[in-house]
Amino acid sequence: MSIIKPIKLIIACAAVAGFWQSVGVAQAASNDLLANLSPVSDAMLAAPPSSDWLMWRRTYDGFGFSPLDQITRANVANLELAWTASLESGSNMATPLVHDGVMYLLSTGDTMLAMDATSGELLWRHKHEGAGIGSAKIGLALHDNKVLMPTGDMRMLALDSKTGEVIWNTEIITTQSGPIPYSLRAAPIVANGMVIQGITATMVPEGGFIVGLDLASGAEVWRFHSIARPDAAGGNTWNDLELAKRSGGSVWIPGSYDPELDLIYFGTAPTYDTASLLYPVDKPGINTDALYTNSTVALRPKTGELVWHFQHMANDQWDLDWIYERQLIELPVNGVDRKVVLTAGKMALYDAVDATTGEYVFSIDLGLQNLVSAIDPVTGAKTLNPNAAPNAEDTMLVCPFANGGRNWQSAAYNPNTKMLYLPLSEICMNGGPTGNGGLLSSGSQLTPTPLPDSDGKFGRMQAVNLATRELDWNFREVVSPTSAALATAGGVVFGGALDESFKAFDDASGEILWQTDLGDIAASFPISYSVDGKQYIAVVIGQPSLHANIMIGVITGFLGTEQSPVTDLDRSGAAVMVYALE
């Protein structure tokens, strides 16, 4: 196992200090690279060149898998820092995209960067000057000659991929306001001539939504509301609340797309106004399921028509949402291959539903939750334990912690081996009683606590064999994972952790084959790409993450300042780190 110490990072970062500030807007530093840039076609998005990383998780099916195999189990120990570039400091959850040797990165402060993917040389920079708040954006999208960029002031920009010039600029109109305003955190997705963007609406009346914008003009074509309207389907699931008192259903993780079925799939978050759903009203036909929270919704990209929905957890009282990636996977089910939408919420409990119909197929419990006692094998309906709802008298052990057994750190899936890799945290909470203030309107306390049988290891990378639906290897350590997983055809899985480490695992055994000290926390989505036959691994570090900051406090609280491995982190600052074989 090779360990690279942070001294190399310090030297490299010093070499590029102040680099961005010295470069003008839309300056073409490498005319040849930009001149040879090819349009990103629909066919490319449906079947990307192996060298490129064209969307959030590389492919429409959300696998987070690279078919590149130059970096292997046998040589990954020879990875070295190829280049690094400093970034502006600020909240972000960045996913770089790479096409024809150009890296595009939506940095904090609504700044889009185009760089030479072999050196980090800046090709152009576009800074959007808006009045919005900063939000931790996941990324961008590419199509034709456009770079599609969500902004902090609720706009979608289409920039020329060769120059950074604005092609169109569309405001996503909102009419409501709340203590936490609307924001655009998810990366957009391009499907069937549309740019589709989820809207975060954490505590805004009437809740979140998804918009479809015309790719050519930017004009809004449709809008799907993730909170059911009182007079529409699902409207009777909100405990008889008027629309102005319904909130939640944020859509802050990018969707997936099946071009054959022409369906887009999004997950939705719960509501923080849990008190209004805690005690059901006594009215016929009214329930507290709160559609479409904690659901998978399948929409037509051209029209926004709801084709089907599946609610994974009704009336979520503990903020254990099911917002995360929807992976489209063909798997054998009772001897027949079926295309399923696979997703897990914070409980690390996977549901698979049929991609065409939304019919329940199966579930896999990764063993971190104590709320669900049984799942109906036909309908997928969940039987809940008494701790699923808080009360005014009791403090109950609830697993996992509201920060999640899993959170936005996405799983990676290797279609060649049918193995899934999910970053996890093994932490529970003491929940309740109600009426004590806090995140949720019920006033339930959400106090982190170790698992009853904890051995002091809170982080875990879990491999799952989806062909057999059985858990395979796991790697456990004190600190929680903070990046998404990245799987590669070379038999290597990559992931970052709270102690600023970045590891390469043997995808068959979980053995650590290589690791490095990044110098800051990788709270982002790693990618792999190649240029001129050379494979690179890229990850963004140092952009503050609410999840990571909470976990620093939790682990230090459990272990004490002297024993915590995250008490004195380097925190060298925001940068993109790129590795390759020496």
Encode the chain (582 residues) as per-residue pLDDT tens digits.
444 333 333 333 333 333 333 344 334 446 799 999 999 999 999 999 999 999 999 999 999 999 999 999 999 999 999 999 999 988 889 999 999 999 999 999 999 999 999 999 999 999 999 877 777 899 999 999 999 999 999 999 999 999 999 999 999 999 888 888 899 999 999 999 999 999 999 899 999 999 999 999 999 999 999 999 999 999 999 999 999 999 999 999 999 999 999 999 999 999 999 999 999 999 999 999 999 999 999 999 999 999 999 999 999 999 999 999 999 999 999 999 999 999 999 999 999 999 999 999 999 999 999 999 999 999 999 999 999 999 999 999 999 999 999 999 999 999 999 999 999 999 999 999 999 888 999 999 999 999 999 999 999 999 999 999 999 999 999 999 999 999 999 999 999 999 999 999 999 999 999 999 999 999 999 999 999 999 999 999 999 889 999 999 999 999 999 999 999 999 999 999 999 998
Supply the Cα-derived Rg of the chain in whole angstroms. Answer: 23
Per-residue pLDDT, 13: 39
Give yes or no for a contact between 450 and 443, defined as CB atoms under 8 angstroms apart.
Answer: no
* Rounded distance between C-alpha atoms, residue 21 and residue 12, angstroms: 17
Contacts with 257 (C-beta within 8 Å, 6 or more apart), sequence order: 60, 189, 191, 263, 264, 265, 301
| Residue among 343, 318, 317, 342 nearest 330 (CA) | 342
Residue type, 272: Y
**Which spans in 79-233 are helix H?**
none
| Residue among 195, 207, 355 nearest 269 (CA) | 207
| Residue among 398, 532, 473 nearest 82 (CA) | 532
The b-or-e profile of 180-197 (16+ CB within 10 A means b, else e) is ebbbbbbbbbbbbebbbb
Task: Quote the distance between the C-alpha of residue 19 and its chain's center.
Answer: 29
Determine how β-strand 65-66 pairs with β-strand 486-488. parallel
* Rounded distance between C-alpha atoms, residue 554 and residue 560, angstroms: 10
Residue type, 306: L
**Which spans in 16-120 are helix H?**
31-35, 42-46
* Rounded distance between C-alpha atoms, residue 536 and residue 120, angstroms: 12
Dihedral of alpha carbons 208, 404, 432, 556, sign: negative
Residue type, 38: S
As beta bridge partners, residue 516 has 4, 502
Give yes or no for a contact between 523 and 480, defined as CB atoms under 8 angstroms apart.
Answer: no
CATH number at residue 339: 2.140.10.10
| Residue among 53, 166, 145 nearest 103 (CA) | 53
Per-residue pLDDT, 426: 98
Burial of 132 (0-12, 13-18, 19+ CB in 10 A): middle
- Taking residue 305's Cβ as centre, other Cβ atoms within 10 Å add up to 12
Per-residue pLDDT, 171: 97
Q: Which domain holds residue 9?
A: 2-581
As beta bridge partners, residue 143 has 146
What is the Cβ-side half-sphere exposure of residue 31, based on CA atoms within 13 angstroms? 0
Per-residue pLDDT, 30: 63
**Would you give the DSSP letter of residue 161?**
T
- Taking residue 569's Cβ as centre, other Cβ atoms within 10 Å add up to 15
Element (H, E) at 276: helix 275-278
Q: What is the pLDDT of residues 503-521, one digit of tens each?
A: 999 999 999 999 999 999 9
* Rounded distance between C-alpha atoms, residue 283 and residue 240, angstroms: 8
Beta-sheet strand order (sheet of 102-107): 97-99, 102-107, 111-116, 122-127
- Taking residue 333's Cβ as centre, other Cβ atoms within 10 Å add up to 14
Quote the strand ranges of 45-101, DSSP E: 65-66, 79-86, 97-99
- Taking residue 416's Cβ as centre, other Cβ atoms within 10 Å add up to 13
Count of domains for the chain: 1
| Residue among 337, 312, 343, 325 nearest 467 (CA) | 337
- Taking residue 443's Cβ as centre, other Cβ atoms within 10 Å add up to 17
